[in-house]
Structure 1
């Protein structure tokens, strides 16, 4: 196969760690997306997709066999894999599955189809296609929206036959989380009048502790008239990529003394009094995320008297190895333009309130926490716009126990398709994601963010909190047109477990810690009581005191069911 070395590459780089980036090889055709899977730059994956199928092309620095697959947990088994190699011009390629630490088994049904295979220099190239849903639930894995953990391996030698593969070794394998089915933004031209502003940590010495939240206040650029911010991207200090877990920028309502510009402090330990109210999310980025660009008709307003004049940059450093004397100047860059878009965008924070009443007991394989945004708060949010508001993107966030996050959507008791769903959430791979279609939110709607946690093997409770070892369950919804409501958060009260003599939160925690969480009945009862519990809810709006209310969980009359794949009806 002939390759034109001048073939113009047109990709969106996805989830590539800066200090280990290598130039990509030239693929056989123009692919919209690629990823470097390993740190040495020896394994590259290119792909494209449509509504029914996905096409992959692997470029691997080996003249032996190449393995590629999909695994829910990122481990080598159970997984849906293919293995191929080129021997004297003949391509060998088989669809397989793994069940343990032994050779992958050849599938009964060969559902991955080879399109091309060849050697070029030191590399083996394999191009293949498969259906997103092969209808083979026993030996294949369905490819869905959200995080997909791909696994890979390679070996320097060709096998002698289809079975009896030589083990690839620990250094020639790995896994990586990708959003395989995220829409690729079309090549948009940056407006010629674009400017940028950097929020960065100025040579901050990262403390030698497991987790640290560092905050810096910034005065936004002084602008003569309204501008729209339309893009942001992370600026990561080379060598510190594994320490910077997430970065948030919050706006500060009202007047902030100009002398606060550049003020630096530990975010949640005695912050300056006037900066405590800087709590509305403006920009969000987390580890694994790429640059984010808003659609052409939407921008985030800056520069008007009603817009924030000050922001606070929050950088969460995750330093489990307690590295010392690390200096960091990471941060975020925002791009803005005086050429206004049609709509102002807003961000709604919804989910479980960050509070110790979010409680995850030990020994659960799938514990569910729910954060409710009731119809009254949604009505306040949409009241200024009779046609409702439209969600364009979402950012889902949990911590280390999180296995999945879903933002559910109800209207008059009927559940609609989820606004966003990630069944295989990865703490180390988070970013804002554009919805495939804008989602209308009306005054009759209820939102519910659910997080799914695995605490099996733990001998302690995990509580809601700020540390990485605590938990969170949040969904940041970007929408338009902008309204004053900026957060709708709730937390269960657990009335069933509270003593009549002492109804305090501390008494509740002490009692729950006496229960036998290895007992499935205890676990099932706690999940049910949590689901049915009254909730304390806050609907937070600019310039209004956030008085909480006690609410019942929403009544779901008609749950949503996933559409059936008609192609599988005959299987």
Structure 2
């Protein structure tokens, strides 16, 4: 039974959907110009809207849009409390780097098509693809309307693709505003969010609102798994484990005798500045945990652990696809307990900081067709801890052999979410699916930005992996600005190269890993590294695409890094525990022995 170490809360029904109308986006005592525009133009000319909350509480921007599919155009309106200028951007990772921006200046009543590849003033695009339709500046409000093609074909513009299915991540967007006559540094006058421009299940808007609406309809309940007011240490890097046994989950309200599917995950983040990442593992172990402790060896030897969910900066709620869920409760292949592993970063040595972060898992008894799994690629267990990244620009390729999918995949699988992860020196990353020696597809992030999206979800639809496919995971790092050598490791300023492919139906792969120096030879990835003199970007420059072995992209971080001497990490302890016997190795793939 979980004792004083642990804490969680539960509710019997799903969260209520957001019901804020556009007329309520801004405070009633100042919103008259905006409400007047809504009545005269907004409600008749635009089909969808969302409010992007700003950094300062009570401030933000309203965004309205209509997709004209016949003309392949988007009509956009942006409203902000400002007198000088306002900007709105499509951001690959959720920040300025790699963003496509439209700017409006009140003094000249003009708009500018711009872009940014650094955290500096946006550059004017040579091709001006936005057309101003209407603008007004009244009583402290700027409102402008404009349109452009969904896909302009301009390398300085980001295409607005279809995101009307939950398997496709929403578009990350940014906004800023100010009172100066021309665009200048915005300070705290900024907002960021994730928008669905196309309705998913008849819902559009911010991902948080769309998710809440969907869970209100589909989920029968939820459970909150929360860190109980943990005092964050003064160490730069701190790992803390939190465990919930099968009995704990039942006491929290999980139906004891009903097979369930988890259909949604919502991060509940308290100290965002200090939470470097949070990952959750599930197990079929239904025994008691001694005094609420995280007895890794006992759990590993009793059925193994599998990654089920993760959070890093910029994380948003996400829904499972209609076809699949994560099994919970009774059943041979269902999870019956959870491990949460927290990584805290306190390089600033802030004192008196506590954290009560966690995750809300939404469930239903209406079981879906498939159970979902996660395939971890690159170096997910950090077997390369202590190995140097290299100096300057360097590329690392991890090659998961075809033997892994040949041996473990009973059938073709559908990948519905592809997530890319590095740390602060990571710049560009891609995955390639290789079939019979031919690259079938590539998914990449042009401008990786850990602080904005530490777990970067590639915006794309579903695709398939077949038995016999191999997978290349490539990470490009830039250590030019580092005064100390950068290594692979578990520290906040060490590096990682990991990719997560969320898929269905679930296959029996040892720990779901095909990674560097892995204990299971069929799924042991080889690593090749090479220094590179330059990087080829797709966005922000005239494209010059190299061959398939080339590099698309990098971005330079300016933070000094260090490699700390740390205790053996959670995942390595699990691997070590399971490596003690052959039987344990076979059981490590949750669900039983390999086929």
Q: Normalising by the residue count of structure 2, what TM-score does the alignment of the two structures yield?
A: 0.67
In 1, distance between residues paired with 2:388 and 2:84? 50
Q: Relative contact order (alpha carbons < 8 A, sep ≥ 6): 1 or 2 greater?
A: 2
In 2, distance between residues paired with 1:75 and 1:336? 32
Relative distance call for 1:9 and 1:226 in structure 2 (3 A) is farther
Unaligned 5+ runs, structure 2: 1-18, 26-33, 162-168, 204-213, 251-255, 519-528, 535-548, 550-574, 588-595
In 2, distance between residues paired with 1:443 and 1:518? 33
Match of 2:52 among 23, 35, 39: 35
1:33 Cα deviation after fit: 5.4
SS state of the match for residue 512, structure 2? strand
1:341 Cα deviation after fit: 1.0
2:172–2:193 contact (8 Å) kept in structure 1: yes
What do residues 360-412 of structure 1 show as CA deviations (whole Å, max 9, x unaligned)?
11222xx22222221111112322x3xx1111112221111112222211111
Alignment of 1:43-122 (within 5 A): 43-44=60-61, 46=63, 53-68=73-88, 81-86=101-106, 91-95=109-113, 109-122=127-140
Relative distance call for 1:476 and 1:106 in structure 2 (3 A) is closer
In 2, distance between residues paired with 1:175 and 1:410? 39
Q: Which has the higher helix share?
A: 2
Match of 2:432 among 399, 408, 416: 408
1:197 Cα deviation after fit: 1.8
Match of 2:405 among 348, 358, 378: 378
Relative distance call for 1:228 and 1:333 in structure 2 (3 A) is same
In 2, distance between residues paired with 1:473 and 1:60? 39
Relative distance call for 1:245 and 1:329 in structure 2 (3 A) is same
Does 2:234 match 1:194? no
1:54–1:130 contact (8 Å) kept in structure 2: yes
Q: Which residue of 2 aligns with 1:129?
A: 147
Relative distance call for 1:402 and 1:47 in structure 2 (3 A) is farther
Q: Which residue of 1 aligns with 2:513?
A: 488
Unaligned 5+ runs, structure 1: 1-5, 14-24, 160-164, 265-270, 494-511, 521-527, 529-537, 548-571
In 2, distance between residues paired with 1:111 and 1:250? 46
Relative distance call for 1:83 and 1:456 in structure 2 (3 A) is same
Q: Which residue of 2 aligns with 1:395?
A: 419
Alignment of 1:288-327 (within 5 A): 288-306=314-332, 307-327=334-354
Aligned length: 468
Relative distance call for 1:336 and 1:519 in structure 2 (3 A) is closer
SS state of the match for residue 359, structure 1? coil
Q: Which residue of 2 aligns with 1:168?
A: 184
Match of 2:465 among 438, 441, 448: 441
Q: Which residue of 1 aligns with 2:361?
A: 334
1:232–1:291 contact (8 Å) kept in structure 2: yes
1:287 Cα deviation after fit: 2.1
1:72 Cα deviation after fit: 8.0
2:22–2:50 contact (8 Å) kept in structure 1: no
1:285–1:432 contact (8 Å) kept in structure 2: no
In 1, distance between residues paired with 2:23 and 2:371? 30
1:343 Cα deviation after fit: 1.1
Does 2:179 match 1:156? yes
What do residues 206-264 of structure 1 show as CA deviations (whole Å, max 9, x unaligned)?
11222211101111334213211111111223xx22222322111235565x1336326
